[in-house]
Structures are given as C-alpha cells and as structure tokens.
Amino acid sequence: MNHLVLGIESSCDETGIGLYDSRAGLLAHTVFSQIDMHAAYGGVVPELASRDHVRRIIPLIREAMAKGGRSLSQITAIAYTTGPGLAGALLVGASVAEALATSLSVLALPVHHLEGHLLSPMLATEPPHFPFVALLVSGGHTQVMRVDGVGKYELLGESVDDAAGEAFDKTAKLLGLPYPGGPVLARLAAQGVPGRFKLPRPMIHSGDLNFSFSGLKTAVLTAARQPGFLPDQQADLAAEFQEAVVDVLCAKAIAAIRQTGLKQLVVAGGVGANVRLRERLRDEMARRGGRVYFPELEFCSDNGAMIAFAGAMHLMAGRQPAERGGSFAVRPRWPLAEVSG
Ligand code: KG4
Ligand code: ZN
C-alpha cells in the first residue's frame, strides 16, 4: 500500500513540515527557524515559541503541499512530534495534526522526536541498513543506542547530566558568544589549536557508555578567568573544548561498535553537523572497516521531513497507532526506548 504522510515538527524553536511518499520518497519539506526571535533573549523563550508556531504552521503546510504537488485529499496519514520537547510548542503541532487528520478522516501518528532524528540519515541517497549503532547528539540528549529496526531501540548509554549540544550552548554563553552558541563556538574552534589549553575528557575511561559534560563548561570558565588570559586565546580554548567533547563522543561510539560487533554507525541530531566530529568519526570507522552515516545537513537540525519519514516507516512496518478514543496528549518527557515497533 502506498502512504502519503504529512509530518509536523514543533517541539522547540523550528516549525517543520515534511511530505513523504512511501514510493517516491521525500516530496517536499518546509521549515521556519525562530532563532532570530529568541536571539534577543539569549535562549529559547517557550511562550514565544508556541505563539510563533501558531503563526507559521498553516502557511508552512500550504507551502509544503504546493511544493510537493499534492493536495490535502491525497494524504493518508499525519505524523507529528508528540515529545520530548516544550509542552506548549508540542501542543501546537499536535492540535493541528489531530484536527487535520480528523477532518480528512486519516490516521494521526504520534512520533518521538528523537526517533525522527535517529532515522533521518536514512533519507540520504546512500542510507544505512538495520542493524546499526546510533549516536544521538542533540541539544537535549546524548545517547548511544543499538537500533535493530523501526521501533527496536536499545539504550546502551547516555549523558548523566548535560547533553553535548547543551554543553556547546552553555560554554558559548560563558565565553560571551551570541545565541545559538553551539555552531558559533564550533566556528571559533576551527580558528584555534586544540592542546594549547588542557581540558578533561570526562568519563572517557568509565568503562561504560555514559557521558558527563556539565564539568567541561566550568573548566572552560576557570581557564578563561586565569590572570593573563587574552581575548585572542579564546579560539584555542574553544578548539580544546570541542576536541574534548569530540574525543569522548568518539571513544564511546567506537566502544559501542566494539561491544555490539556492528559495522555501521549512524550520527543524528544537531551536533551531528559538527565538522570536527564528522571528520573524526569518519576516520575512526574507516580504520575499523566500518562506516559512519550522517543526515544531510538540512536534516541535522529539527525538521518535518524526519517526522514524516518516521511515521511512514512505522506504517510500512505495519504499525497501527493505539486507539485513543478521539483524545490526544503530548509527552514533554518521553524515553526513546519506550517506543515500540
Ligand atoms: O537536534 P537539534 O537541532 O535540536 C534538539 O532536538 O535539541 O540540536 C540542537 C543542538 C544545539 O545545542 C546546537 O548548539 C547544537 O545542536 N549544534 C552544534 C552544531 N550545530 C548545532 N553543536 C556543535 N557544533 C555544531 N556545528
Ligand atoms: Zn531535535
């Protein structure tokens, strides 16, 4: 059976719409980023995020339908991010998706945001195949998972405190860099030399697949406050910070590859856009006769294409969503391992 799935993402500060056809692939996607609006406050303001999703969502759906050359009446299901994320922001996408699905008499499919990220490398022209190890590195999560199929996710390790993206963002803020800090800090790091400052590699020898990144920002702050620290040393400090995060992410991802005996590593989430992380993982996996897969850059950050795709994958795997008697809820906190195929 052919499925035409509309995907809706509104968990944080991007409104994203995707249109995925199970035979023809991704037909269109549209996204609006609220970065400029939140920049004035130095971070995401949840209430402003919700209001902006309300403003953008319908025009973005119209635009995606027009780009994809399909009409609403051809849609067979609507997938939307149910969580994790900001409650108010999630509710905007959920209400629009459920209302539209009811009016079109089609299925509404709740999708886990991280599942969207995790499957997004499969939208690439050379996709990975199950089973694989996934390194999920977003603003809110750092997790290593074994993925055996759609809905078959085993958590192997995760951050016990800050996520890698969060560590980038918080460290950038401490260094006085503008929001959104992660990519700005990464650009600064590219101009510096790692090793001139010495930062710890937290939990690198812990013997498990867990991470801890919250201490790094304090170590950066301590270094930046040393008497004699010059502004033009900031790039070197940023480079050492990035190298510390990348060292730990690589070490744990490779340990998961060794532990599972799998040959494919999939990296997903916003930090997956980090150039240094991409370089290092490519080298490390090639040396082991394996391969690393990344989402296309436009699918690293939040988008609706990955949600439409995750919904379509569940439909193609024969999953029917649980009967909810006309009601729906969002799940601002929702462990990925609770998603089942
Ligand atoms: O997956 P994502 O778009 O949103 C969440 O679901 O959280 O990830 C956003 C995170 C932010 O913390 C951002 O700073 C980080 O990804 N990020 C980066 C880079 N680009 C985005 N971190 C390091 N280097 C980058 N180039
Ligand atoms: Zn995300």
Q: What domain range includes position 203?
A: 128-294
- Give the Å distance between the CA of 271 and the centre of ligand 2: 10
User: Is 9 a pocket residue for ligand 1 (Cβ < 6 Å)?
Assistant: no
The pLDDT mean for the chain works out to: 96
Q: Does 341 have pLDDT greater than 70?
A: no
252 and 279 assigned to the same domain: yes
- Give the Å distance between the CA of 270 and the centre of ligand 2: 7
23 and 52 assigned to the same domain: yes
Q: Does 284 have pLDDT greater than 90?
A: yes
* Ligand 1 probe mutation, 137, 138, 179, 306, most atoms within 8 A of CB: 138
On whether the CB atoms of residues 292 and 249 are closer than 8 A, the answer is no
Burial of residue 72 (number of CB atoms within 10 Å: 0-12, 13-18, 19+): middle
- Give the Å distance between the CA of 182 and the centre of ligand 1: 6
Label residue 179 by pLDDT band (50, 70, 90).
Answer: confident
Q: Which ligand is nearest to the CA of 137?
A: 1
- Give the Å distance between the CA of 314 and the centre of ligand 2: 19
Q: Where among 273, 294, 315 does a domain terminate?
A: 294
Atom of ligand 1 nearest to the CA of 85: 6
Label residue 158 by pLDDT band (50, 70, 90).
Answer: very high
Q: Does 13 have pLDDT greater than 90?
A: yes
139 and 80 assigned to the same domain: no
On whether the CB atoms of residues 87 and 126 are closer than 8 A, the answer is no
On whether the CB atoms of residues 182 and 172 are closer than 8 A, the answer is yes
Label residue 296 by pLDDT band (50, 70, 90).
Answer: very high
49 and 180 assigned to the same domain: no
76 and 169 assigned to the same domain: no
218 and 306 assigned to the same domain: no
213 and 233 assigned to the same domain: yes
60 and 164 assigned to the same domain: no
Number of domains in the chain: 2
132 and 115 assigned to the same domain: no
Instruction: Kindly report the three-state secondary structure assignment for every residue of the chain.
Output: CCCEEEEEECCCCEEEEEEEECCCEEEEEEEEECHHHHHCCCCCCHHHHHHHHHHHHHHHHHHHHHHHCCCHHHCCEEEEEEECCCHHHHHHHHHHHHHHHHHHCCEEEEEEHHHHHHHHHHHCCCCCCCCEEEEEECCCCEEEEEEEECCEEEEEEEECCCCHHHHHHHHHHHCCCCCCHHHHHHHHHCCCCCCCCCCCCCCCCCCCCCECCHHHHHHHHHHHCCCCCCHHHHHHHHHHHHHHHHHHHHHHHHHHHHHHCCCEEEEECHHHHCHHHHHHHHHHHHHCCCEEECCCHHHCCCCCHHHHHHHHHHHHCCCCCCCCCCCCCCCCCCCHHHCCC
**pLDDT for 120:** 96
Atom of ligand 1 nearest to the CA of 186: 24
Q: Where among 294, 309, 325 does a domain terminate?
A: 294
Structure confidence by residue, pLDDT tens digits, 54-87 = 999 999 999 999 999 999 999 999 999 999 999 9
Lowest mean pLDDT across 37-46, 91-100, 127-136: 37-46
268 and 304 assigned to the same domain: no
Atom of ligand 1 nearest to the CA of 275: 26
Q: How far apart are alpha carbons 68 and 1 in whole angstroms?
A: 20
The pTM for the full model equals: 0.94
Q: How far apart are alpha carbons 115 and 136 in whole angstroms?
A: 10
**pLDDT for 261:** 98
User: Is 77 a pocket residue for ligand 1 (Cβ < 6 Å)?
Assistant: no
User: Is 311 a pocket residue for ligand 1 (Cβ < 6 Å)?
Assistant: no
User: Is 202 a pocket residue for ligand 1 (Cβ < 6 Å)?
Assistant: no
CATH number of the domain to which 113 belongs: 3.30.420.40
* Ligand 1 probe mutation, 113, 143, 168, 280, most atoms within 8 A of CB: 168
User: Is 168 a pocket residue for ligand 1 (Cβ < 6 Å)?
Assistant: yes
**Mean pLDDT, residues 149-178 taken together:** 96
Q: Does 9 have pLDDT greater than 70?
A: yes
80 and 139 assigned to the same domain: no
- Give the Å distance between the CA of 300 and the centre of ligand 1: 8
% of the chain residues with pLDDT over 70? 100
43 and 177 assigned to the same domain: no
**Mean pLDDT, residues 324-330 taken together:** 83
